[in-house]
Amino acid sequence: MAGLTHASPSVETALAPASKKRRFSPGRDAIRRFLRHRLAAVSIVVLALLALAIVVGPWIWRVPINEIDFTARLAAPSWDHPFGTDDLGQDLLARMIYGGRISLAVGFAAMAVGLFVGVVIGAIAGNSKGPVDAALMWLTDLFLSLPQLPLLLLVIYLFRDLLKGLVGPEGGTFVLIVLVIGGFRWMPVARLVRAQFLSLREKEFVEAARALGASNFRLVARHILPNALGPVIVAGTIDVAAAIIAESTLSFLGLGFPPDIPTWGRLLFDAKDYLDIAPHWALFAGGAIFLTVIAINFIGDGLRDALDPRKVM
């Protein structure tokens, strides 16, 4: 048959001259596009190094976080204390490593909570018409219009002791902070997912799948949701950064973790009184937050480019 040539033969011969098996999936295309974004590629290395340092740090730098040494109060960085010490002579490198674990864990966990709630609410709203959709969007608007910081403070004030009793001081605060930050960050995701659903459910491939006997649940789970995830992943990365900032804010205001547990925000809060005599204390904590957040934002930027199928590079 003369007309039955391979579709787009030029592309395939150009990309896969020798090997027959090298076919480009959307996933691999996306990775290629992501790596073209220089800052994003650098950022992912930076974030990976930060994460690595935080995870394996305690095994290499074996100084305890709460070893008080009054002979070395507010010491500048030295070989004994690479990041210097705080007002109690505690080693800042150890505290930074420990605090980074909490800050990053809070960031990712809060992002997961926010994404989960947002995707569920957005999907239900986008998939149902009429009153359900209207009520859920009304709820979303309500949450968006709440003054968040005072409310965060109130919720934490009210529930901190309850959760501390249930899962211990550190775990309790962690759960509470994650839930509270995530619980106030799902609204943009919900709107995004709803908008995606509204446009995707009218697409022909959804209609075609329905015509071939797919149930409503299958349509949503297999055909609509995977197509809606690109923008959600991008929003999720930005949410990690925002959650880290929010946790730092709460800690800075003294409402995060207990004072003896270092987080990056807490370190910054404690350092503020000694800015003139021991600036290194604030600089390292602030620098770590800055570096993490800006890296995550660049990664989000790169992902947006990578996951936008209209972008051909």
By CB under 8 A, tell whether 1 contacts other proteins. Answer: yes
By CB under 8 A, tell whether 223 contacts other proteins. Answer: yes
State which amino acid sits at residue 232. V
User: If you ran DSSP here, which 8-state letter would residue 51 be given?
Assistant: H
By CB under 8 A, tell whether 227 contacts other proteins. Answer: yes
By CB under 8 A, tell whether 14 contacts other proteins. Answer: no
SS3 state of residue 35? helix
> How many residues bind to other proteins according to rule CB under 8 A?
31
- Cα dihedral across residues 252, 258, 263, 266: positive or negative: positive
- Cβ atoms of 223 and 214 closer than 8 Å: yes
Please pick, from the candidates 131, 147, 150, 213, the single residue that binds other proteins as defined by CB under 8 A: 213
- Least CB distance from residue 200 to other proteins, whole Å? 10
Please pick, from the candidates 14, 18, 60, 212, the single residue that binds other proteins as defined by CB under 8 A: 212
Select 47 or 224, whichever has its Cβ closest to other proteins.
224
Residue 85 pairs with which residues in a beta bridge? 91
**Residue partners of 213: CB distance under 8 A and separation at least 6:** none
By CB under 8 A, tell whether 64 contacts other proteins. Answer: no
By CB under 8 A, tell whether 10 contacts other proteins. Answer: no
d(Cα 148, Cα 124) in Å, to the nearest integer? Answer: 25
Give the helix ranges, DSSP H, for 168-311.
169-183, 187-200, 204-211, 216-218, 225-252, 264-271, 279-307
* Stretch in the footprint of other proteins (CB under 8 A) among 81-89, 189-197, 204-212, 232-240: 204-212
* Stretch in the footprint of other proteins (CB under 8 A) among 32-40, 178-186, 207-215, 277-285: 207-215
Q: Which of 262, 236, 268 is nearest to 249 (CA)?
A: 268
Q: What are phi and psi for residue 185, nearest 5 degrees?
A: -125, 10
SS3 state of residue 290? helix
Please pick, from the candidates 207, 277, 287, 311, the single residue that binds other proteins as defined by CB under 8 A: 207
- Least CB distance from residue 222 to other proteins, whole Å? 7
By CB under 8 A, tell whether 204 contacts other proteins. Answer: yes
Six-digit token string for 127? 């998939």
Residues in touch with other proteins (CB under 8 A): 1, 3-8, 12, 20, 23, 25-26, 203-205, 207-216, 218, 222-223, 226-227, 309
